[in-house]
Chains A and B, each alone.
Chain A
């Protein structure tokens, strides 16, 4: 029975067992394994267009892959179908025909913990359904793929854009892979990829699982081959089952929290605010915790904007920092911030607080 059927029949179920079966099948909530499928969250760039490098994280949870630089740009765009307010816009910056082993795509790596219900790599592997809204200035057969962590099991899928510059809803369903290794840890579980151009070893016929790391089918549209060609995509969903269900809209807060497991950016903005309560270990070093809003996937990398965006407030004075660093203490929930000052401050153990100012930011990165 499909999840769509489960949903439709839910009102007619008369026994608790039947209702439990529908719930266990994932029919009611948390169907979508894709985070930020509505392209609503863009912590890094705030909607600004970027020309990505290979591996550049763009809109939250979405990563660019490319073999040649400066062939396409990405941005969060307001162009969207009914029921959405944002999409990811891909713009070809050139008329480049992929050759050799070229590849151009965006992908989302789903954490293994979230891919457990797919039961991939076992005889119990579940069907997979992928659905999304897409609009392009080009028509024809486009392609994407799904891949495992080791990049040695993958499957190409195709979809057809029938009318230029018109939003179209696409669904693809296929049987899950019963072989290969598919992580069910905090590593990469399953990766969903949308191709903008590929050649050579990145090509594979659609419709069957194969070894290797493939992206598109031979003959599928190469967006980067047409200068100024555009493709918008939103409402991306990957779920268990042989039938795609309507896009699972989550609240903005829920979606942001899911993104923050992988990346959190604290933009100081116009309202300066305290970041960390600190105490001096010695006369020039102050320590204090910086807490993340959600438990992150792994111990995160810390970074910040410019030193001039941070000041230590202590004993009725502002202390100019000579450096700021993320210290030894780290966990999935906090990192230690160490403020260094030039002036000798006594007594040790005195308290202060670290304040962020202006255009400053702190970022924690635990992406896959």
Chain B
């Protein structure tokens, strides 16, 4: 079964110490979530899938 996650926003969050992207702040099914950059994480896997499909863009970190 393919999950139908409704991802409306996605933005990288940079580590305040290193400045490197550390996670993604996303709104998924109406809930703000902080998604780690782990391919085994189902939310991150879905974000990558939607980016690949061209239906989602991850904004740069602030």
**Cross-interface CB contact of A187 among B2, B40, B44, cutoff 8 Å:** B40
Give the complex CA separation of A65 and B15 in angstroms: 36
Residues in B whose Cβ lies below 8 Å from that of A325: 13, 25, 34
Which residues of A have CB within 8 Å of B2?
54-55
Give the docked Cα–Cα distance between A187 and B44 (Å): 14
15 other A-B residue contacts (CB within 8 Å) besides A298-B41, A301-B36, A365-B43: A54-B1, A54-B3, A55-B2, A55-B3, A285-B16, A298-B40, A299-B38, A299-B41, A301-B33, A301-B44, A303-B31, A325-B13, A328-B18, A330-B22, A335-B34
A365 to B41, CA, bound (A): 8
Contacts A325-B34, A365-B43: A281 and B1 contacting too (C-beta < 8 A)?
Answer: no
Interface check A275, CB cutoff 8 A: no
Known: A54-B1, A54-B4, A281-B16. A186 touches B40 (CB 8 A): yes
The 10 closest A-B pairs by CB, nearest first: A55-B3, A328-B22, A328-B15, A326-B34, A298-B40, A299-B38, A299-B36, A54-B4, A65-B1, A302-B34
B23 interface contact, C-beta 8 A: yes
Can you list 12 contacts pairing A with B, beta carbon distance less than 8 Å? A53-B29, A54-B1, A65-B1, A187-B40, A281-B17, A297-B40, A325-B34, A327-B13, A327-B22, A328-B17, A328-B18, A330-B23
Chain A residues 324 to 368 lying within 8 A of chain B, measured CB to CB, are 325-328, 330, 335, 338, 365-368
Is B35's CB within 8 Å of the partner chain A? yes
Q: Bits for B1-15, please: 1 = Cβ < 8 Å to A, else 0.
A: 111110000000101
Let me know if B15 and A327 touch, CB within 8 A. yes
Mark out the residues of chain A between 287 and 323 whose CB falls within 8 Å of any chain B CB in the assembled complex.
297-303
Q: How far is the CB of B30 from chain A (nearest CB, A)?
A: 11
Query: Cβ of B32 < 8 Å from any Cβ of A?
Result: yes
A77 interfacial contact with B, CB 8 Å = no
